[in-house]
Amino acid sequence: MKAKKVFKRIFKAILIIFGLLLVCIIIMFVNRQIHLKTDIEYLKSKGYYNPVSVGSYSLNLLDFGKKDGKHTIIAMAGYGIPDTCITMRKMTLSLEEENRVIFLDRAGYGASGDTKNEMTAEYIVEDYRKALENAGINAPYVLMAHSIGGVYATYWESKYPEEIEAVVYIDATEMRSFDLSDNRNVDDVSYEKLLLKLDRMGIGHIALRAFLPKNFDYSKEEQRIEDIMSLMTADSDALVSEGKNKLVNTTNVWDMIVTNDIPKLYINSSNAFQTKEEVLENGGLDDKLIHNLTEPYFSGSEEERAEEAYEIYLDERKYVREHILQPYFEKLGNCEMTLLPGEHLIYQQKPDECSMIIKNFLDPTVE
């Protein structure tokens, strides 16, 4: 009898705990829906929400600068960067004085709608083109692509060269062909899938809202817009699909590149380092990277280890420039490279230098 009573109590306790968890999840889910509605209203009030239909969902399109400017520049975000309209505007403000600058978020990014469609390079570019057409923004365009955005820009200018005036690659993905049968070349998107599940339950939304990093260079308004767009992107099937297809897209686009004379500029930051002094000026190599570069066989002093690590690091950067980037540029045709050593988000780290490089590329007579 005692065992029966104990079992009943345990069972009752489990039911209570399960019930409390269910109530918490419902509360968090409702809280998430309320926040999403409030956040959209905030973006609208600040001019950061302009959905343009591409069929069953919309892409968020933000239009800055001169409508009849010299060039129509399309900013294309790197993978998982939901707030390009905030982070990149530090660079584009001076470009907007004489040009039209369009920030167009892909499906699942920021305030754009989501889709379960497979995010191939073709699908993504057709979305871009439909949104621009439906918004009445006509070609030719200057594609300004960061990171993985460079893969989509390459597809675009190869498939529809008549639409493209020029391409600016900002530390874009180093394109080449990958052996897709090798499991080491399969992108792991388990983290993105976990975020998606947690966010849809409301758990991730609360956790992310509490721990989102703060940028002290931003105004209160900019920080809130960045936070909102980051939270919205976490809840995205499209982002998971895009992550899964990164190497597939890179390989497929590499294979279909059509060499042409469209002017192209590649701003190289991550692989631009040629001297130890340049690396040190940008923060130097941390202890973990130094050990990763020299393990497991190095047996000298820590000073010698550091020197060896810098040599290895610079040799690796040189290898990428000469054996990965240069063949890519030759295949593209008419592509010049500018070295601007720094972080991958170079447009955020060195916005003035970036904007001046782009201005001089688009309008060489500008002093």
List the domains of the chain with CATH numbers.
51-270+342-362 (3.40.50.1820), 273-337 (no CATH)
Who contacts 307 (Cβ-Cβ below 8 Å, separation ≥6)? none
Rounded to the nearest 10 degrees, the angle between the axes of helix 302-319 and helix 287-294 is 80
Q: For residue 119, what are its two tokens?
A: 């995010």
- Output 177 or 118, whichever has higher pLDDT: 118
Range in 47-51, 234-238, 361-365 with the lowest mean pLDDT: 234-238
Average pLDDT across the chain, whole number: 87
Residue 78: pLDDT over 70: yes
Among 268, 275, 266, 307, residue whose Cα is nearest residue 290:
307
Percent of the chain with pLDDT over 70: 82
What's the pTM value of the predicted model, to 2 decimals? 0.86
Residue 226 has a pLDDT of 85
Q: What is the mean pLDDT of residues 218-230?
A: 85
Residue 343: pLDDT over 60: yes
308: confidence class by pLDDT, cuts 50, 70, 90: very high
Number of helices and strands in the chain (H, E): 16, 8
Compute the CA torsion angle 298, 344, 168, 74 (nearest 10 deg): 150
